Each structure stands twice: as C-alpha cells, then as structure tokens.
Amino acid sequence: MTQFLALGIDVGTSGVRVAALSEDLEVVKVTKAAMDLSRGPRNDSAVWLAALSEALSGMLRAIDPGNVTAICVDGTSGTVLALDDAARPLGYALMYNDTVDDPSIPKAIAAVAPRQSAAHGASSALARCISLQTRTGVARIAHQADWIAEQLAGRPVPSDESNALKTGYDPIERTWPDWMPATGMDTRLLPDVVATGTMTGVTSGAFGLPKGIPIVAGVSDGCASFLATGASSPGDGVTALGTTLTLKLLSDKPIFAPEFGIYSHRIGDQWLAGGASNSGGEALAAHFPPDEIASLSERIDPEIPTGLDYYPLPRTGERFPVNDPYLESRVDPRPEKREEFLKGLLEGIAAIEKLGFERLAGLGGPKLTSIRTVGGGASNRIWTRMRTRMLNTPEAPVASGEAAAGSARIAWGFVKDRA
C-alpha cells in the first residue's frame, strides 16, 4: 500500500531539518544538515541553500519522492533579505536577532505604529526591512521562509501571516497597515501575504523533487515547534523548559500585551500567544550542575509542597509573567538539605509557569486545558509531576519535538482540506 507523505522544512539558526509525516501524522523520517560556516556566515543565503540541498537529498534517498503530497517551510522569525530584480540576494540577510544601528528607524516606527504592533524596536523585522531597502538595486524584500519556498518553486511566492507579523502585518485586518509608509518603509517592496496553509506555488523540479508538488504557506519556527507537539485546540499549552521558561497557548482570539512581550501569531482561524520568563534552566544552573539535579530529583516527593516561596532568576530583572526590570531573585530561606533546596527552586519555577498561564488567560486567552513539555527539563519526571499538580492540568504526550514536523502538519492540513 502506498504511503503518502507530507514534508516539512525547518530552516533554523544552526541547520536545516526535513521531516516526512505519514497521513496519520506519524514522523516517518527526519534528515538534517548543519550550516557549513566554512562557506560563509549564518546570514549568507548560499549557506542556507547548501544545507537545504543536503537535508533534502538525504530525505529523497530515504523515501519515494513520488509519494510526497505537499511541502511546507518554516523559518526563523523576522529574518529578512533584500533581492534584486533577478531574484538574487543583495548582500547578507539580516537575522532575527540583528538590530539596526540608525536610531531614527525605531523612532519613526514608534511615532506611528499602534502599541500592540510587533514591529516596534530596533530589532523588529520592520526596522530591518527599512534598513534593507537602502541597498543598491533592491527590487523586493522576502522573509527567510518565503525565500526558501521560492527556491523550491522557481519563482516568487507570497509570505504567510506568521512570518509577516514582526514586519508590521496586521493579522486582525489581514493586511499591511496604512501607517507603514509613514515609517519610511516602501511597502511596494514587501511580499503579498496569505493565510497559513494556503497553497502558494508548486515545485519546479529543483533539489531532486518531482515537479508539481503543492507548496503551502507556513509559519515561523517557533510556531512550527508548537504545532509539532500535537497541540491543536484552544487551551492547549506548551512549556519549553530550557535556559529560559517559555509558555505558548493556543487561543480562539488574539492576545496582545507588549508590556509582557506578548503578541499573537495568526494560524488560520486560531491564534498562538506566548510569553518568556527569565527563570528556567539558567536559574537552576546558578546553584546545581545538571548531574546533581538529576540525582537529587530522585529523592524528592513531588506531592508534598515545601512551603517555600521562591522566584528563581539568573540575574536581576523579569519580563513575564511579571514585568519588572528590577525584580531580584528570591531563593531564601535555604534548607539544610540540598534536595529540599532544589525542590524549592523547582516549585518556584512551576509557580512562575502557573502564573504565566493565568496571565495569558487574564489577558483574554482561554483557560489551560492540557500541557505539553519540551526542552531539556522535560526529561525530569519529578519536576513534570510537580508542575502538573500545581497547574491542575493533564499532561499530554508530545508528538514530536521537531519544528519541521509542525510544518509537515500544516502541509497535511492543506491536503485534507482540499480532498
């Protein structure tokens, strides 16, 4: 029996990953290729293409290319590049974390952009686009995911509502807003934008792919990582327990609270909102090495609270769920037993997570109904039990930790809607 597949392509900061998903949304194969920095820096589009070619070649050796039904691409949020009239990149891209040097650019944006816009600041994608448009010969500007999809199609393709968000796109009105030209941005250089899941083109036969495979508008890499877990309904939450603590919640309405760094990505008729606390793995690492955390966790009873009221931070300042640049880490009093101190820290981070989801609900989001966990801390089952008890929310299984699998889910959504 033929096994039809959808491909998701994730272009990250360190490499490209390709995931093949079966019709029942099971990951069949993942291939990857690191960015070869001997070829150039991470913001060199030629480096992206080399990694894309390698990752796709590995995938097409492992599957039957004729069984691919659709392809979707995600990229790093806010990474943009300038193109000439022959679709050639003009210099290096400006990456998601690059800031513009000209202070007049964020000032011009601040003067006209609504408070809830994600385009504010020197590190916004809009600021980078305003800077890029000054390059000699620029004919248009594309987001990273758009440009990768363009290489598959052999012609320009529209952008998507997720990657366009930080460039100033209005996801509620679903258009480039009228205030943008007042920032100095020539909006004629920006791509058309379509809803995530919309067909934007077909493959040209490049990279060894058969001709005519539908290419589907994707999302940013962060949104793709969320979708990869299997979260799909309003109230589904995903916590990333890494260096920091990042929360994301699927909602049936947008949530905008820029004072907490909260914006909503539109994914079809749903919205993905989230916030990031400075607490997390770095706050734990200030007191315990990883091996000791693992060994001491085995001595902890997650069902009995310590009564400690910690707010662990790696340094002064917090952004979400409390917005206070002067907030100090609170990790006193300290019990004599090391495992009790660790338990208090884990409880403190769990309490921050609980407050974070309550904050999102208080800002108009749905009540948390399920929780999935990704990141290094997800492997600590004692901590997970402690968190689910405090959240009073059932833990749901994570379908995949690969962002590429999230993009492949979008591709399958297109195929099934068209059937």
Closest CA to 130 of 155, 147, 111: 111
What are the φ/ψ torsions at residue 173 (nearest 5 degrees)? -80, -15
Q: What percent of the chain has pLDDT over 90?
A: 98
Contacts of 383 (CB under 8 A, 6+ apart): 241, 297, 302, 346, 350, 377
d(CA 247, CA 360): 9
Reported as a single tens digit per residue, the pLDDT across 169-190 is 999 999 999 999 999 999 999 9
**pLDDT for 113 beyond 80:** yes
Average pLDDT score, the chain = 96
* CA distance linking residue 157 with residue 145, whole number of Å: 10
- pLDDT of res. 298: 94
Distance CA 151, CA 215 (A): 11
Neighbours of 392 (CB within 10 A): 8
CA 403 distance to own-chain centroid:
8
Instruction: Provide, for the chain, the percentages of residues in helix, strand and coil under a 3-state DSSP scheme, each rounded to the nearest 5.
Output: 35, 20, 45
For residue 90, pLDDT beyond 90: yes
pLDDT at 277: 95
Q: Mean pLDDT throughout 194-208?
A: 98
Residue 53 pLDDT exceeds 80: yes
pLDDT tens by residue, 257-271 = 999 989 999 999 999
Rounded-to-integer distance, Cα 19 and Cα 55, Å: 10
7 touches 59 (CB < 8 A): yes
Q: What 3-state class would DSSP assign to 137?
A: coil
Q: What is the pLDDT of residue 352?
A: 98
Q: In terms of C-beta distances under 8 Å and separation of at least 24 residues, what long-range contacts does 256-264 make, across chains too?
A: 256/116, 257/363, 258/115, 258/116, 258/117, 258/118, 258/120, 259/323, 260/319, 260/320, 260/321, 260/323, 260/359, 261/319, 261/320, 262/320, 262/360, 262/363, 263/116, 263/118, 263/165, 263/166, 264/171
User: Which tokens in the block code for residue 272?
Assistant: 């993905």
Does the domain formed by 233-391 have CATH 3.30.420.40? yes
Model pTM greater than 0.85? yes
Q: Are 160 and 218 in contact (CB under 8 A)?
A: yes
- pLDDT, residue 95, reads 95
CB 37 within 8 A of CB 2: no
Q: What is the pLDDT of residues 24-43, one digit of tens each?
A: 999 999 999 999 999 999 99
Are 239 and 219 within 8 A, CB to CB?
no
Angle of helix 221-228 relative to helix 403-418, nearest 10 degrees, comes to 80
Mean pLDDT of 50-66: 97
Q: Which residue, among 89, 217, 91, 47, has the nearest Cα to 145 in the 3D structure?
A: 217
Q: Any idea where the domains of the chain sit in the sequence?
A: 5-222+403-418, 233-391
pLDDT at 326 over 90: yes
Tens-place pLDDT, residues 64-74 = 999 999 999 99
CATH number for the region 5-222+403-418 comes to 3.30.420.40
> pLDDT at position 419, please?
72
Instruction: Determine how many CB atoms are found less than 10 A away from the CB of residue 228.
Output: 29
pLDDT-based confidence at 2, cuts 50/70/90?
A: confident
Is residue 385 over pLDDT 90?
A: yes
pLDDT value of position 270? 97
For helices 381-391 and 338-362, angle between their N-to-C axes, nearest 10 degrees: 40
Q: What is the mean pLDDT of residues 128-151?
A: 98
Fold identical between 5-222+403-418 and 233-391?
A: yes
Q: What is the DSSP string of 347-414?
A: HHHHHHHHHHHHHHHHTTPPPP-EEEEESGGGG-HHHHHHHHHHHT--B---S-S-HHHHHHHHHHHH
* Dihedral sign, Cα of residue 130, residue 132, residue 138, residue 144: negative
């019709």: which residue's tokens? 23
